[in-house]
Amino acid sequence: MPRPKVLIGSRQAPDLEAMLQNASLEVEMHFLPPGEKLGDHIAEVEVLYGHIGETDFARARSLKWVQQPHAGVEGFMYPAFKASDVILTNCRRLYGRQISEHAFALLLALTRRIPEHVEARRRQHWEILPCLELAGMTMGILGLGGIGRAIAERAKAFEMRVIAVDPEPVERPDAVDELGRLDGLPAFLAASDVLMVCCPSTPETHKLLSHDQFNRMPEGSYLINVSRGRVIDEEALVAALRSGRLAGAGLDVTYTEPCPPDSPLWTEPNVILTSHSAGQSQHVRRRAVELFIDNLSRYIKGEPLVNLVDKQKGY
């Protein structure tokens, strides 16, 4: 039988390309040439490591499986791909460590008022500012996937009470004190001194957090979003910040990216905005390639693949 044709759809570091070339798998491995278009090379490809858009997908006559090198898969949710038999896997379990670190960096910067200290230093002004400790607070985690679980473990180390909700009937890990479903969102929000948003962007989660939801949260609570900006109604978020309902927000993602120049999120004093950087790590690209090599071995052997995506649910 002919060996499966595999295309690496984006440039990798030389050591990672060497890993792929030396993986000793019975495949025909190709790398997309620099500066060339995916659509010009996709026709006979059986396995793609990378993203494929709707136009190029129409030219993919032999495609059977796509490994997305990142966690987010909303870019694949166009009708032709969702209706196809092409398998989709992602890297959702490779981001928990660094994103949870980033989430706590945002939270601690808000509760310890780091931006104000930085500004005071710039002005050579010495001022003792009142700060908060996390111990004893309740952290609510919206979405208990790999990132949510990693955040829960770190919250426990800060002696926080941890509650979570998830749309799926997942098992409660030891780091979570209470776990519910989305129908319990009102009570969950009312108990959350800190709300960590860790859920994917789907039609069901679009602007899930709006005026009614923010108004249920405790006065002076905090919001951290390290998943997808479209989960939040930003007009409602700004209103909650200005009213004092929210004491601060740490946002690694926004509804539109880059964040538009006229967005009030740039200038709200109690907002910390980072540019979708939470997933960055010196290790993540290697982990992604290692996962792909493992999955490729499984594919060749006819074994179940890791991190299968339900294309109808969008995660």
User: What are the pLDDT digits (tens) for 151-177?
Assistant: 999 999 999 999 999 999 999 999 999
Residues 6+ apart with CB under 8 A from 9: 32, 38, 48, 49, 50, 51, 52
pLDDT at 236 over 80: yes
Q: Which of 276, 285, 286, 298 is catalytic?
A: 276
* CATH 3.40.50.720 in the chain, residue ranges: 5-93+282-301, 96-273
Catalytic residue flag (residue 113)? no
In CATH, which superfamily holds the domain spanning 5-93+282-301? NAD(P)-binding Rossmann-like Domain (3.40.50.720)
- 228 token code pair: 């997808």
Which DSSP letter does residue 16 get? H
Per-residue pLDDT at 1: 64
For residue 309, which amino acid is it?
V
30 catalytic residue (yes or no): no
Q: Note the CATH architecture for domain 96-273.
A: 3-Layer(aba) Sandwich (3.40)
Find all residues with CB under 8 Å of 196, minimum gap 6, and list them.
Answer: 103, 139, 140, 141, 142, 148, 151, 224, 226
Q: Does the active-site annotation cover 206?
A: no
DSSP 209: B
Which one, of 192, 170, 165, 160, lies nearest residue 180 by Cα? 165
For residues 271 and 110, what is the distance between their CA atoms, to the nearest angstrom? 8
Task: Say which of 161, 228, 230, 245 is annotated catalytic.
Answer: 228
pLDDT, tens only, 188-231: 999 999 999 999 999 999 999 999 999 999 999 999 999 999 99
Which one from 206, 257, 283, 303 is the annotated catalytic residue?
Answer: 257
Torsion sign across C-alpha atoms 195, 198, 199, 200: positive
* Amino acid (one-letter) located at 304: P
pLDDT in tens, 246-288: 999 999 999 999 999 999 999 999 999 999 999 999 999 999 9
Split at pLDDT 50, 70, 90, the class of 302 is very high
